[in-house]
Amino acid sequence: MKQLTYVVRTNNEFMDMLQDASRKMAKIPAISSILVTVFGTKMNRVNMEDMVQKLHGFLPDAHIIGSFAALSVADDFIIEYGVSVTFNLFEEASAEVVAFPSRFLSSGEIGQSLLERLQGMEDVKAVGLLLVDSSLDILDILEKLSEAPQEIQFFGGMTDEDYLGHQGCVFTADDVITSGVAALVLRGKDLHVNSLESFGWEALGRDMVVTGMDGPCVVTEIDNAPAIKAYEKYLGIKNNEDFAWEALTFPVYFERGEKTLARHPRSCRGDGAVVFNANIRVGDHLHFAYGDPEGILEKARELRKKMRLFRPQGIFLTSCVARWFLLGGDIGAELDACRELAPFSGFYSFGELRREGKELFISNMTLELLGMREGEPTEKLADPLPPTPAKFSWQTHVMRHMVHFIKSTSQELETVNQGLAQLAQMDRLTALLNRGELEAVLERSLEVSKVSRQPLSVIMMDIDDFKGINDNYGHAVGDEALKLVADVLRKNTRRMDAPGRWGGDEFFVILAGIDVNAAAKIAERVRENVSGVDILPDGKHITTSIGVTEATPEDDAASLFSRADGALYDAKKRQGKNHVSVVEPKTEEKNE
């Protein structure tokens, strides 16, 4: 495989490109397939269509795909005006371009049609998608394509549409698509691909919760207020014609499973709802995020180290347009991820395609590389480039220092908040959970138990004759007795359990995933350990009475606590203290 990249701004440069490409292609003994990618920046539709048709006439058997873009890349060039043209010349592998205009197919049908085409092909290694038109149900398309074999790598993303003053378009040799998808399929037994990505944005400010949605991509409320209020309060961004531009470099950032995702807003409605470029869910915990220029470029250099080991013959790059907005004139520095590895080209997108496991989804603020190679590497692995510190403009230097200040103060604030949160959750004497936190944990645990159908048991206990301990030995000894019980509970429960002080000398323990019989054994061990310690000045021992029960699907926190309290009462009144009483759900009581 050989990759040729060019920058074209004039008709003369276009003709020179054709001559140079012809000369280099003539030197290759066998070419099985030719792929041409074209990305135009600040070009009009007529000029782009004309260029694509001339390329088709020059190479009638070539597969051509391209689009408008905010920026494009051709080796070391960041192109703000002109066209990047790349020829990928395969010796054995093949490329195929397929167009799916939405004027003929719904979003679900687009995804299903492409999926069926992929399932009918052999040796598919990578699929590039150029999506255009934000009104498409992209989630429906990607959900269908997630059923494609897991070994297929996906790349590409959302192309420019309206942001630069004209309707977005995707071009192929046979069609111009203003709404739909163009797919590039790369396949071959001896074709190898390597997909890598980096993020680089970090959480900023406090945790916020999505409390209202109007469809998968429209957030109506954040923290029970119109979504725009969060932008006004924390970023000073108003709902006006500049909203999308000003908010672009401050995405919302959240975790979903093991994935870190970001979303940037496309617009704000009159009612204060914010329209994002990809899906968000009610209940998602959001932060605003900020980009650290130095951190972003460091992560880009880390990509280079990984891609170097793959030894690609060509690289396709997709980067978020917000990275350009943030880095400004220093944007070329992120191309260190590809320099001196192989020829590379690509475009800056408004949503990058990612795949983790089977799931295919759109992310933002990401730099993504797809390395390609035919056969095994034949050349010796090149020596790594020595690390070079980034050289920033003065404007970026000022931003770096502001970012450093924000990061440092945010970390200090987070440490303070964590300490305050811990104080709010903990009982100060015993360092166990306090009653308020126990109630909250019990509510959550009951919900999880009902959904997962896993058992949930609780222990209710107190110290026998605790008032007499305080009266006879003093409150200091009483405090030591409380600390002793707390220490025994910590040592006899798991990290996932929730032991706490209910109040006075009463303790409560929540045991997730444990049935009543196992809970009774834990309770008996706690009772024995407490009674075996010499703590009272006259050598006497303290004892505890303990009630145990298990939750049912019908239980709420009040009913479960009431049953546990009844079991404790039984241990004290009927069994004479220093006992464990078990009440099985909806059965007669039994003693241990």
pLDDT by residue (tens digit) across 56-90? 999 999 999 999 888 899 988 899 889 999 999 99
* 106 pLDDT above the threshold of 60: yes
Average the pLDDT over 18-40 and give the result. Answer: 94
What mean pLDDT value characterizes the chain? 86
- What is the Cα–Cα distance from 435 to 557, expressed in whole angstroms? 13
109 three-class SS: helix
How far apart CA 294 and CA 551 sit, in angstroms, is: 52
Residue with tokens 């045991």: 511
366-374 average pLDDT score: 94
The reported pLDDT for the residue numbered 569 is: 92
Residues 273/239, Cβ–Cβ less than 8 Å: no
Percent of the chain with pLDDT over 70: 90
Looking at residue 592, its pLDDT comes to: 43
Residue 464 and residue 487: Cα distance in Å, rounded?
17
Provide the token pair at 542. Answer: 């303290």
Helix, strand, coil % (nearest 5) of the chain? 35, 35, 30
**Residue that wins the pLDDT comparison between 526 and 259:** 526
Q: Which domains does the chain have, with CATH numbers?
A: 2-199+294-372 (no CATH), 201-290 (no CATH), 435-591 (3.30.70.270)
Question: 87-96, 338-347, 417-426, 546-555 — which is least confidently predicted?
Answer: 417-426
* Model confidence band, residue 307 (pLDDT cutoffs 50, 70, 90): very high
What contacts 401, CB < 8 A, 6 or more positions away?
none
Q: Is the pLDDT of residue 591 over 60?
A: no
Instruction: Render pLDDT for 123-165 as a digit per residue (tens, 0 to 9).
Output: 999 999 999 876 778 888 999 999 999 999 999 998 865 554 4
The mean pLDDT value for 280-298 works out to 84
Residue 202 burial (C-beta neighbours within 10 Å; 0-12, 13-18, 19+): middle
Residue 499, token pair as written in the block: 């032991």
Query: What is the mean pLDDT of the segment spanning 331-336?
Result: 85
Cα(355)–Cα(193) distance, rounded to whole angstroms?
14
Residues 6+ apart with CB under 8 A from 244: 163, 265, 266, 267, 268
pLDDT digits (tens, 9 = 90+) for 215-268: 888 999 999 999 999 999 988 999 998 898 888 888 898 877 667 788 888 889
Helix (H, G, I), strand (E, B) or coil at 285: strand
Interatomic CA distance for residues 571 and 494, integer angstroms: 24
* Three-state SS at 514: coil
pLDDT at 346 over 90: yes
Three-class SS state of 399: helix
Model pLDDT, residue 159: 87
pLDDT at 537 over 90: no
End-to-end CA distance of the chain: 76
- How is residue 487 written in tokens? 């220490």
319 vs 161: CA distance, rounded Å: 16
Quote the CA–CA distance of 289 and 268 in Å, as a whole number: 19
- Mean pLDDT across the stretch 370-389? 78
pTM above 0.75, yes or no: no
Lowest-pLDDT range of 53-62, 84-93, 323-332, 382-391: 382-391
- Of residues 283 and 37, which shows the higher confidence score? 37
pLDDT at residue number 458: 95
Q: SS3 of 18, please?
A: helix
The pLDDT of 499-528, averaged and rounded, is: 93
Q: Please, which pLDDT band fits residue 5 given cuts at 50, 70 and 90?
A: very high
Q: How far is it, in rounded angstroms, from Cα 332 to Cα 573?
A: 78
Pairing relationship of beta strands 124-132 and 153-158 according to DSSP bridges: parallel
Residue with tokens 């303070």: 416
Written as one letter, the residue type at 253 is: Y
Split at pLDDT 50, 70, 90, the class of 343 is very high
Confidence band of 589 (pLDDT split at 50, 70, 90): very low
